[in-house]
Amino acid sequence: MVKKLVKYDFKSFFRLLFPVQMIILGIALINRLIQLFEVRDSSAYSWIFTSSIVLLVIACIVCMVMTVILSVVRFYQGLYSSEGYLSHTLPVTPSQHIFAKLSVSLIFAAGTVLTIFVAICIATFGEVNIELFKAAGYLLGKGFDKIGFQMILYMLEILVYAVLWISNVLMIFYFCLSVGQLAPRKKILLAFGVLFGLYTITQIIGTAGIIIAVIAPEWFQNLYDVIAEFAEAHRYLFSHLILSGGALLQLLEAAVFFLISKTIMKKKLNLT
Amino acid sequence: MKKVIQIISVFVLAVMVSTILCSCIQLDDLKNNRAVFLNDDKTEVLFRDNLYKRIQLKGEAIIQNETYDGRLTAADVPILLAESEGSAFSYDKTADVPTLLKQYYENYSSAYDSYYTGTKVYCLESEYDRISEINSSDKFDSMYIIYSKDYSDEDMVGYNHDYQLVYEIVSEEYHDAIDRALESDTETLIDSEEGAKSEYLDLTRCDSETSFVKGIFC
């Protein structure tokens, strides 16, 4: 049943995002064709080329934003609007619902990243593209020479961190929507309020921490010294711990939001 | 389905055509200004398909129309990383095949980590014997006049003038007169009133202590 859910969501994402991704590739092609008319020290060419680059960048940003917005809208429409009446009659648990929505969102987020990558390849196709790959290969090779297999670990950790970070961002939105639907009226407004409240709380905690660290640095001096000593003695282990710790934190945060959203969906569903 | 395949085919053809028909001017400039070391001792360099050999000069080599756009790298460094991984060198920008290349700094790890290792000069292989002969002789038969010329606007006052060094070969008929002037420690100086353009001249001759010229600049 989850497979069918995923398939259905996949189709609705595809219908809306695919044309946008094709537009990005089209703009990249136009950018490449403009380079046919490259003339040295021509302000007209420079203006047109720069404009096409700016257009490509804006298109990429719009696609990324659209992917997130679509994920949030599909979650709300599929589970908390009139479509939710049908969704919640299916033999699927709330966890499976959330997991299906999250999976499809992650797949299309990866698709957006791939589209942007292909667009950059098209816009630089030819000698420039080859030189870009050569430069990337050289830097990777240099990295491997310098730190060996640690490079592979770093790459894996960064990839895992990126996936967990995107999942966490989406789970925050799902959490806000789930809390929002508890209200009898103006559910979306409450969802925005929850998002704003979350942001404000994290900013307050962060700022308080910075103020304390600035006003009374001696409180943390011992801790700083221990951390600095450890980092100096075990440079690679320290950086792996930072990355893995960050990824774990993202996972824990996402898990908390997942559990709260699931509980609300299971016990406090309000589809009025 | 047929229509989708047609659209994709047109798209791919357009990308391929654009690739074949054009190159990037900036990339061509980077390639044109890049030299590579041919051996591990860094005594041979390939620049614009010409071989250059390291030459130990007795003094400083002066390059007319000097530009510092050149980047000297190992052969395996990609062209896009020449700026950060390479060392800067200068050459005569008006010459298709410059005679001399001058490397001032060596890059050890990155663009922000360069060390002055003394000027290293590389000479075009076909000119190597001629330059070596000049370098090894005790007396030279050319004199250069070096002066500082003010290229600022007429209304410019104060010390933000645009001074540029100009090198010109002095005609042989003046050599003896210049020798006599130098022997008597005579200097030619044009005084200027405040706010007016000024030039300072210093005449020197090539001698055994320098390869080409020695000068004082202001």
Average pLDDT score over residue span B16-42: 79
Q: Chain A to chain B, count of Cβ pairs less than 8 Å apart?
A: 52
The pLDDT value recorded for residue A214 is: 83
pLDDT tens digits, residue range B69-111? 889 998 889 998 888 888 888 888 888 888 889 887 776 555 4
Backbone dihedral region for residue A113 (phi beyond 0: left; psi -120 to 50: alpha; all else: beta) = alpha
| Contact present, B15 and A122 (Cβ < 8 Å) | yes
The pLDDT value recorded for residue B214 is: 35
Check pLDDT > 50 for residue B190. Answer: no
A contacts of B27 (beta carbons < 8 Å)? 127-128, 131
User: ipTM strictly over 0.85?
Assistant: no
Full-model pTM: 0.74
b vs e for A234-258, b when ≥16 Cβ sit within 10 Å of the residue's Cβ? eeeeebeeebeebbeebbebbeebb
pLDDT tens digits, residue range B137-159? 655 455 566 555 555 666 555 55
Of the candidate ranges A21-30, A105-114, B20-29, B185-194, the one whose mean pLDDT is the lowest: B185-194
Check pLDDT > 50 for residue B201. Answer: no
Extents of the domains making up chain A: 1-125, 148-272
Beta-bridge partner residues of B52: B45, B124
- Residue A135 to chain B, least CA–CA distance (Å): 5
User: Exposed (0-12), middle (13-18) or buried (19+): which is A31, by Cβ within 10 Å?
Assistant: buried
Residue B65 pLDDT level (bands cut at 50, 70, 90): confident
Give yes or no for B19 touching A (CB within 8 A).
Answer: yes
B contacts of A131 (beta carbons < 8 Å)? 27, 78-80
Tell me whether residues B15 and A25 touch, CB distance under 8 A: no
* CA-based nearest residue to A236, from A121, A109, A149: A149
Of the candidates B14, B22, B23, which has its C-beta nearest A29's C-beta?
Answer: B14
- Residue A90 to chain B, least CA–CA distance (Å): 34
Of the candidates A29, A38, A138, which has its C-beta nearest B81's C-beta?
Answer: A138
The pLDDT value recorded for residue A81 is: 84
Give yes or no for A145 touching B (CB within 8 A).
Answer: no
Residue whose token pair is 């008597």:
B184
Mean per-residue pLDDT pooled into runs of 10, chain A (272 residues): 83 88 91 85 87 92 92 90 83 89 92 93 87 90 86 91 94 92 85 92 91 80 83 87 92 93 85 68
